[in-house]
Amino acid sequence: MANTFTVQIATPERVVLEKEVVSLVAPAYDGYLGVWARHAPLAAELKVGELTLAEPGGKQDALAVSGGFLAVSGNVATILADAAELAEEIDLARAESAAERARGRLAELGDPEARKHVDGERARAALVRAVNRLEVARKRV
C-alpha cells in the first residue's frame, strides 16, 4: 500500500474535505509545490490556481482555490483557503457569468468617466478567479 497522509481543506464557510492521499500539488506564490507522505514541515502562501490530490487507488481530485495558506506538519497537510471548490461542484454558468462581469468592468477602464467608478485591481482579481474556476471545471468534465 502507498504511503499516505491526511489532507484537510477548509474555507471560512465550510470544511471542504478531509481525506487520506498519496500526494498533493498546490499553487504557491513561488510556483506549484508537491507534498508527499512524511514531508518536512512547511508553510506556504497559496495563490489562485488548481490544487490536485492523488488518492491511493489512483483517483485524482481537483479543486479551484483562491488564495490561502498551506501548512504541513506531522504527516498532515492543512489548507486554509479563501475559497475552494471541488471541480465537480463548480457551476460553469455561474463562473462564466462572473468572468463576463469582470471582463465588462475591465472594458470600462477605457472610458475616463467610468474609470472613476471601477476598481481595476479588483476586476482583474475577479477575472483571474473566474477563469481558474472555469479551467479546473472544464478539465474534469
25-59 confidence digits (pLDDT tens):
999 999 999 999 999 999 999 999 999 999 999 99
Cα separation, 76 vs 90, in Å, equals 26
If phi > 0 it is left, if psi is from -120 to 50 it is alpha, else beta; for residue 37 that is beta
Note whether 52 and 117 are same-domain residues: no
Q: Say if residue 21's pLDDT is above 70.
A: yes
Q: How many domains does the chain have?
A: 2
Bridge partners (DSSP) listed for residue 54: 23, 60
* pLDDT above 70 (res 141): no
d(Cα 82, Cα 6) in Å, to the nearest integer? 20
In CATH, what number is assigned to the domain containing residue 42?
2.60.15.10
Instruction: Give the pLDDT score at 112.
Output: 76
Residue of 25, 21, 82, 85 whose CA lies nearest to 54: 21
Same domain, 22 and 65: yes
CATH number at residue 105: 1.20.5
Q: Are 101 and 40 in the same domain? A: no
Q: Are residues 102 and 53 in the same domain?
A: no
Tally Cβ neighbours within 10 Å of residue 103. Answer: 15
If asked whether residues 105 and 72 sit together in one domain, one would say no
pTM of the predicted structure, to 2 decimals: 0.89
Domain containing 9: what range? 5-86
Half-sphere exposure of 68 (CA within 13 A, CB side): 21
Considering the domain architecture, whether residues 70 and 100 belong to the same structural domain is answered as no
Is the same domain home to 76 and 60?
yes
